[in-house]
Amino acid sequence: MKRLLVLVAVAAVAGLAGIATAGDYHVGSTLICSDCHVMHGQQTHGYTEGLNPEMPPGFYNPIGAAAPYSRLLRNDVNNLCLGCHDNRDFAPDVFGTDVNGTPNGGRLAGGLNADPTKRANDAGYVENDGHTLFAKVLPPGQAATPPFTSWSFNATDGLRCSDCHSVHGSANYRNIRSSSRTTSLWYGNTVRYAIGSNNITSADVYERIEQEYDLANVDYNMPDAAKSYYGDFCKKCHTKFHGLPTDANMNGTRHPTGGEAMTAEMVTEWGGMTNKVKVMSPLGMWDGSDPGTGPSCFTCHKSHGNQNNFGLVFMEGHGPSVTEEGDGGQMRDTCRQCHSQGDLPAGNPFVP
């Protein structure tokens, strides 16, 4: 169906049984060099063979006005990605409004926004309501110096798609960048995933149907009760806000993103919701029956963003329908998915 946000990917190394071994797209037979590169910085003709079968016949990612670009790219990095991933019906629309009408609650990651001086945002999407392409400011929770030198947010292009997604692919969920699970150098540890059949002991992410990324199709395991490997990935840019309860940066007060299960009361509260925020489950059961259930970054935020401040999900829990913004709730309702403090008594006229 729809494909993930990434420039070009290569076949990845084999992994454990039951674990996906490569990004879902731009791999193997779908690895088409001409999707992203052009030899002479211009294209006045088509090709007689090698067309990407996923694209409409004759479609080519546009050549940017400032061609030729570094590394023979067809455009600058962000606009190159968005050439296929914005307002196209043959690939995931990851920028602003989703023209594909992704079912079952919309896109799991939501939609990106941009520095409006570089690219106009779709209606309802405002700069900083999630990840802002081309931004040249420090991300929330970051120290004065980035943790690794390859990051480009202060370079010419600002924040780029390739700062989160591996340019030439990886064995990780949606080709996000990573190091090994034991040595985290630049990016968070490897985020492994299973497709079709879950693997709770090894996979961090369970994708029920390959290449379908709607809200209802993806859930999160907790193969390591001591951490969230997905959270470790986010932590590399948002260092101060993410980690285990015992980490120095958490100061014993910041909301944990791994290594701490919800209390029995919290699991019961969350399990009683019709519309639930995403959490990690060691047993692969997302119905309130797993006592080890715990939160991570994606519990409260859309990784790309949405139309709420900071890409937050406002999930009341019993709203009439679920969208990428939530189900019609307010910010406090997301907290009350797990925390019963502030609940109104039964019969109160303000209870919906």
Please report the pLDDT score of residue 161 as a whole number: 92
For the chain, what percent of residues have pLDDT higher than 90? 51
More confident residue, 123 or 152: 123
Q: Is residue 14 predicted with pLDDT exceeding 60?
A: no
More confident residue, 45 or 147: 45
* Residues sharing a CB contact under 8 Å with residue 349, sequence separation 6 or more, in sequence order: none
Amino acid occupying residue 21 = T
State the Cα–Cα distance between residues 184 and 192, nearest whole angstrom: 15
Alpha helices in 111-200 (DSSP H): none
State the Cα–Cα distance between residues 223 and 147, nearest whole angstrom: 26
Quote the tokens at residue 129: 């309501």
In the numeric block, the tokens 């798609």 are attached to 161
Quote the tokens at residue 141: 């929770």
Q: Is residue 149 predicted with pLDDT exceeding 70?
A: no
Strand pairing category for 205-207 and 218-221: antiparallel
- Torsion (CA) 239, 244, 249, 251 in degrees, nearest 10: 150
Please report the pLDDT score of residue 179 as a whole number: 74
In the structure, what pLDDT confidence band is assigned to residue 286 with cuts at 50, 70 and 90?
A: very high
Least confident of 180-184, 339-343, 346-350: 346-350
Which tens digits make up the pLDDT trace of 161-186? 988 888 777 778 988 887 777 766 66
For the chain, what percent of residues have pLDDT higher than 70? 82
Entry pTM:
0.86
**Average pLDDT score over the chain:** 83
CA angle 8, 127, 333 (to 5 degrees): 100
Please report the pLDDT score of residue 205 as a whole number: 96
In the structure, what pLDDT confidence band is assigned to residue 143 with cuts at 50, 70 and 90?
A: low
In the structure, what pLDDT confidence band is assigned to residue 16 with cuts at 50, 70 and 90?
A: very low
Q: What is the mean pLDDT of residues 149-156?
A: 52
* Residues sharing a CB contact under 8 Å with residue 20, sequence separation 6 or more, in sequence order: 171, 173, 192, 193, 194, 195, 203, 207
In the structure, what pLDDT confidence band is assigned to residue 157 with cuts at 50, 70 and 90?
A: confident
